[in-house]
Amino acid sequence: MASKPEFVEFVAEQMRDAGVITYKKMFGEYGLYCDGKIFAVVCNDAFYIKKTGAGQKICPGLKEAPPYEGAKNYFLVEDVEDRELLTRLAVATCGELPEPKPRKRRKGPENGF
């Protein structure tokens, strides 16, 4: 079952103070980005955030589960109503994740190749 866009928009809005929160549809579900860095996913209308030590300190009781079959465990955040907590969790998580790698330019006539 694919996630509803309204749920994804709500979760993204809840974390708007963490940075520039965007989302992208991926295989019927959604990846969430903060300032260009992927840090969470929404699958089956459930919010999963990457596991980090900082996230564990902020929310020590979060369940761990894979967002989809074959995935590594993420933290499953069931309470998406607490805007302040979600913002703190997003900021802390993104602070521990590596910066995204620069994308390679595609070869093509517009690039002179």
Question: pLDDT tens digits, residue range 16-66?
Answer: 999 999 999 998 899 999 999 999 999 999 999 999 999 999 999 999 999
Work out the burial of residue 76: count CB atoms within 10 Å of its CB; fewer than 13 is exposed, 13-18 middle, 19 or more buried: middle
C-alpha atoms less than 13 angstroms from C-alpha of 105 in its C-beta half-sphere:
7
Banded pLDDT at 106 (limits 50, 70, 90): confident
Please report the domains of the chain, with CATH numbers, ordered by start residue.
5-111 (3.30.1460.30)
